[in-house]
């Protein structure tokens, strides 16, 4: 099952990449339409749009998913129901495909809802309480986006069809399109876990690692960014771009801060994903959608590699995910840790690896454009924080002494896992440059003063040093984080958003539900419905019975009254 799907997905990935290259060269677009229902002037169609953006994205997704499936052949080999797992992953890939190739709000809903549901199934794959809670949080946060998309469909009814591709210039001015844009932005924010919907992404790490590698690094969370890339005109010509810039900048910042306080390996990687998502969204909100797309693709490559290495490490550490118990892995697992290092450096933006091309270009465009001090600060500080936590992670896991138990079996001999990691390694080294030569045939014009040009490099080096030095503490060191416990707790727990999203809002629906049952269904509805009517009838029937039993007395009494009245009548007249 694994091998078949791996080979077919790999083949399709190569096919779509080739087609994407052809389409880029010739500036070609194919549009295939199938009409489902057409009534009055409205057409619900199922559309497939094949242009270079969707084909290249598709090829990347298929490549990563084929490598992940190959990887999970070994990772999940002790699972009974591995076929079910592969089926779920394939369904996920199908939904992602459907989302990528549709220029139509209704066919996007097909992929969007599918993504939400299948990712829910994948997150609750292991059956424990943490997975259950995480799955519910994931599904319901995504559901908010689904509802927003449904309402956007309702508003887009004004235009007669839902192919938003055709309405790009209407989007700049019309007020209904503004509402559609707002709703679509809400949907994208929930899917890509921006503030205030960020709490599901670290929680979703309860899923198996291949799922995290596929879903939470490259595909599900980038669906929101992709949707906004398609809708980018709305962002650049209205106030929504500014709002999105603020929120995604804050997300970037918060995630970077949080990753510095976190000790769970997968959560650190999740928060780093969140930070990069914030970066993508913020550069998108400034109008540079091609840069966002570029960063999306390169980020997918090295993040998937990072998750895969993390999976290999977790397997070797006897399913332990805490980095405080890891150390000196570079001695024991050389190949894995070299892949890990390459991925980390690509994340930080080491020159000429994959991440450098996209990140550096983004930061230079940010410096080059018209931006305020706060956003500028957020961008560069978050970049520094990225390097900071990456180096902290390297310190804890790779260098240093081993903190694991002495009876261990750290080895590098998961050959299947290694092969998939090797594939992604090559791609993450050459992928950045390859893509930049493809997507940007002419280089962007950037003219910057020397300070700003070197600012990136400077921030990275400072960040790296800080990361390494902060973690390099001895046993009797006064931990600054511990002495300011409240503040570091605030920063480390993602600014309390998980608590707000779960404990904060769960009370109100449940109380309202109880009120609805007790006061409506068993209260007033019964009062005006069945029970009170019955009670009234029974009371009146008892009254009737009383009259019936005493009818003779009533008759005689009324007779006497009648005689009395007659008598009085006769007296008066």
Partner 1 sequence: MFNNSSKIMFLTILMMGSLIAISANSWMGAWMGLEINLLAFIPLMSDNKLMSTEASLKYFLTQALASSVFLFAVILFLLNTGKNNANLMEMIILSSLLLKSGSAPFHFWFPNVMEGLSWINALILMTWQKIAPLMLISYVIFKPLIIISIILSSFIGALGGLNQTSLRKLMAYSSINHLGWMLAAMYNSNIWLMYFLFYTFLTFSMVLMFNMFKISYINQLFSLFFHEKSIKFFLFFNLLSLGGLPPFLGFLPKMFVIQSLTMNNQLFLLTFMVMMTLITLYFYIRLCYSAFMLNYYENSWMTFSYYKSSNMKLLLTFSYISTFGLFLTSSLYFFF
Partner 2 sequence: MLKIIFMVLFLFPLCFIKNSYWMVQSFLFFISFIFILMNMYSNYFMSISYMFGSDMISYGLILLSLWIVSLMLMASESVFKYNNYVNLFLFNIILLLLMLVLTFSSMSLFMFYLFFESSLIPTLFLILGWGYQPERLQAGVYLLFYTLLVSLPMLIGIFYLYKVTNTMNFYLLNNYMFNYEILYFSLVMAFLVKMPMFLVHLWLPKAHVEAPVSGSMILAGIMLKLGGYGLLRVFPFLQLLGLKFNFIWISISLVGGVLVSLTCLCQTDLKALIAYSSVAHMGIVLAGLMTMTYMGMCGSYTLMIAHGLCSSGLFCLANISYERLGSRSLLINKGLLNFMPSMALWWFLLSSANMAAPPTLNLLGEISLINSIVSWSWLTMLMLSLLSFFSAAYTLYLYAYSQHGKLFSGVYSFSGGKIREYLLLFLHWFPLNLLILKGDMCMLWL
Residue 521: which of partner 2, partner 1, none does it interact with, CB under 5 to 8 A by kind?
A: partner 2
Q: How far is the CB of 551 from partner 1 (least distance, A)?
A: 4
Decide if 187 contacts 224 (C-beta within 8 A): yes
Task: Kindly give, in sequence order, each residue whose CB lies less than 8 Å from that of residue 204, ignoring residues fewer than 6 positions away.
Answer: 119, 123, 134, 135, 137, 138, 212, 215, 216, 270
Q: Pull the structure tokens for residue 441.
A: 């045939």
Which of the 8 DSSP states describes residue 238? S
Single out the residue of 461, 541, 556, 562 in contact with partner 1 (rule: CB under 8 A). Answer: 541
Q: How far is the CB of 263 from partner 2 (least distance, A)?
A: 28
Q: How far is the CB of 557 from partner 1 (least distance, A)?
A: 13
Work out which of 551, 560, 564, 568 binds partner 1, going by CB under 8 A: 551
**Listed ranges 249-257, 281-289, 482-490, 521-529: which one lies at the site for partner 2 (CB under 8 A):** 521-529
Q: Which of 254, 251, 305, 304 is nearest to 282 (CA)?
A: 251
Q: What's the rounded Cα separation, in Å, for the pair 231 and 223? A: 12
Q: 493 pairs with which residues across the strands?
A: none
- Counting residues that bind partner 1 (by CB under 8 A) gives 11
Cα–Cα separations (whole angstroms), residue 206 to 125, 128, 234, 451: 9, 9, 36, 43
Find all residues with CB under 8 Å of 397, minimum gap 6, and list them: 265, 313, 323, 326, 327, 329, 337, 340
- Work out whether 146 is an interface residue with partner 2 (CB under 8 A): yes
Given 57, 155, 164, 404, the residue binding partner 2 (CB under 8 A): 155
The one of partner 1, partner 2, none whose footprint includes residue 551, by CB under 5 to 8 A per kind, is partner 1
Applying CB under 8 A, among 473, 500, 512, 538 the residue interacting with partner 1 is 538
Task: Answer yes or no whether residue 548 interacts with partner 1 by CB under 8 A.
Answer: yes
Cα 441 to Cα 147: distance, rounded to the nearest angstrom:
39
Q: Is 113 in the site for partner 2 (CB under 8 A)?
A: yes
Distance in angstroms (rounded) separating the CA atoms of residues 124 and 202: 14
Does 185 bind partner 2 (CB under 8 A)? Our answer is no
Task: Decide whether 36 or 533 has the Cβ nearer to partner 1.
Answer: 533
Inter-axis angle of helices 450-471 and 354-368, nearest 10: 130
In the chain, what are the helix, strand and coil shares in percent, each to the nearest 5? 80, 5, 20
DSSP conformation letters of 379-418: HHHHHHHHHHHHHHHHHHHTSS---S-SS-------HHHH
User: If binding is defined by CB under 8 A, does position 120 make contact with partner 2?
Assistant: yes
- Tell me which of partner 2, partner 1, none is bound by residue 393, counting a contact when its beta carbon lies within the kind-specific cut-off of 5 to 8 angstroms: none
Instruction: State which of residues 489, 520, 535, 561 lies at the interface with partner 2 (CB under 8 A).
Output: 520
**Residue range at the interface with partner 1 (CB under 8 A); choices 57-65, 300-308, 316-324, 539-547:** 539-547
Partner in contact with 318, chosen from partner 1, partner 2, none, beta carbon below 5 to 8 Å by kind = none
The residues near 166 (Cβ < 8 Å, ≥ 6 apart) are none
Q: How far is the CB of 554 from partner 1 (least distance, A)?
A: 8
Q: Should residue 532 be labelled a site residue for partner 1 when binding is judged by CB under 8 A?
A: no
**Considering CB distances under 5 to 8 angstroms, the limit depending on partner class, which of partner 1, partner 2, none binds residue 136?**
partner 2
Name every residue whose Cβ is closer than 8 Å to that of residue 95 and which is 6 or more positions away in sequence. 110, 111, 112, 114, 115, 118
Please pick, from the candidates 478, 510, 552, 570, the single residue that binds partner 2 as defined by CB under 8 A: 510
Q: Helices marked H in 262-348 — which ranges?
A: 265-285, 289-316, 329-332, 334-348
Residue 321, classed as helix, strand or coil, is: coil
- List the structure tokens of 149: 């998309």
For residue 136, the minimal CB distance to partner 2 (Å) is 6
114 near partner 2, judged by CB under 8 A: yes
Helices (H) and strands (E) in the chain, counts: 26, 2
538 binds, among partner 1, partner 2, none (CB under 5 to 8 A by kind): partner 1
Q: Work out whether 537 is an interface residue with partner 1 (CB under 8 A).
A: yes
Candidate list 22, 530, 542, 550; residue touching partner 2; CB under 8 A: 530
User: Which partner in partner 1, partner 2, none is near 540 (CB below 5 to 8 A by kind)?
Assistant: partner 1
Span near partner 2 by CB under 8 A; candidates 3-11, 39-47, 48-56, 404-412: 39-47
Summarize as ranges the residues that interact with partner 2 (CB under 8 A).
36-40, 42, 44, 81, 84, 106, 109-110, 113-114, 117, 120-121, 124, 127, 129, 131-132, 135-136, 139-140, 143-144, 146-148, 150-151, 153-155, 157, 509-510, 512-514, 516-517, 520-521, 525-526, 528-530
């Amino acid at each position: 099952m694994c091998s078949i799907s791996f080979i077919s997905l790999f083949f399709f990935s190569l096919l779509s990449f080739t087609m994407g290259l052809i389409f880029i060269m010739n500036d070609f677009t194919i549009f295939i339409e199938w009409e489902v229902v057409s009534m009055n002037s409205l057409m619900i169609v199922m559309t497939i749009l094949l242009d270079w953006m969707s084909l290249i994205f598709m090829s990347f997704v298929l490549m990563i998913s084929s490598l992940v499936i190959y990887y999970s052949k070994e990772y999940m080999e002790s699972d009974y129901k591995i076929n079910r797992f592969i089926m779920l992953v394939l369904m996920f890939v199908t939904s992602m495909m459907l989302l990528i190739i549709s220029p139509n709000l209704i066919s996007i809903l097909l992929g969007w809802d599918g993504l939400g549901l299948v990712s829910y199934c994948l997150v609750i794959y292991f059956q424990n309480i943490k997975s259950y809670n995480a799955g519910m949080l994931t599904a319901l946060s995504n559901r908010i986006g689904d509802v927003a998309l449904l309402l956007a469909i309702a508003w887009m009814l004004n235009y007669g069809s839902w192919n938003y591709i055709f309405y790009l210039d209407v989007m700049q001015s019309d007020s209904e399109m503004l509402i559609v844009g707002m709703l679509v932005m809400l949907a994208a924010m929930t899917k890509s876990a921006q503030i205030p919907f960020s709490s599901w992404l670290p929680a979703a790490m309860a899923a198996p690692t291949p799922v995290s590698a596929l879903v939470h690094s490259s595909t599900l969370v980038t669906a929101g960014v992709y949707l906004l890339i398609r809708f980018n005109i709305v962002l650049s010509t209205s106030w929504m771009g500014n709002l999105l810039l603020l929120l995604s900048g804050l997300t970037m910042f918060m995630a970077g801060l949080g990753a510095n306080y976190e000790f769970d390996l997968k959560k650190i990687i999740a928060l780093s994903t969140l930070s990069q998502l914030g970066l993508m969204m913020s550069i998108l909100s400034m109008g540079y959608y091609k840069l966002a797309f570029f960063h999306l693709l390169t980020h997918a490559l090295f993040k998937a590699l990072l998750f895969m290495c993390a999976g290999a490490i977790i397997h070797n550490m006897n399913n332990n995910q805490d980095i405080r118990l890891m150390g000196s892995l570079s001695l024991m697992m050389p190949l894995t840790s070299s892949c890990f290092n390459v991925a980390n450096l690509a994340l930080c933006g080491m020159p000429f690896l994959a991440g450098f091309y996209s990140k550096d270009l983004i930061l230079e465009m940010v410096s080059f454009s018209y931006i305020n001090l706060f956003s500028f600060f957020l961008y560069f500080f978050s970049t520094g924080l990225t390097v900071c936590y990456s180096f902290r992670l390297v310190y804890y896991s790779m260098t240093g002494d081993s903190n694991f138990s002495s009876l261990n079996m750290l080895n590098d001999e998961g050959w299947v896992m290694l092969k998939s990691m090797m594939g992604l390694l090559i791609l993450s080294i050459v992928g950045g440059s390859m893509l930049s030569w493809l997507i940007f045939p002419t280089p962007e014009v950037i003219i910057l003063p020397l300070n700003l040009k070197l600012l990136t490099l400077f921030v990275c080096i400072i960040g790296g040093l800080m990361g390494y030095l902060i973690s390099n503490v001895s046993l009797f060191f006064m931990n600054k984080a511990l002495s300011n416990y409240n503040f570091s707790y605030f920063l480390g727990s993602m600014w309390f958003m998980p608590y707000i999203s779960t404990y904060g809002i769960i009370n109100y629906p449940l109380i309202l539900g109880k009120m609805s049952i007790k006061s409506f269904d068993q209260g007033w509805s019964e009062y005006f419905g069945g029970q009170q009517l019955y009670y009234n009838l029974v009371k009146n029937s008892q009254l009737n019975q009383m009259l019936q039993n005493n009818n003779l007395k009533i008759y005689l009494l009324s007779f006497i009254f009648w005689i009395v009245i007659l008598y009085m009548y006769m007296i008066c007249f």
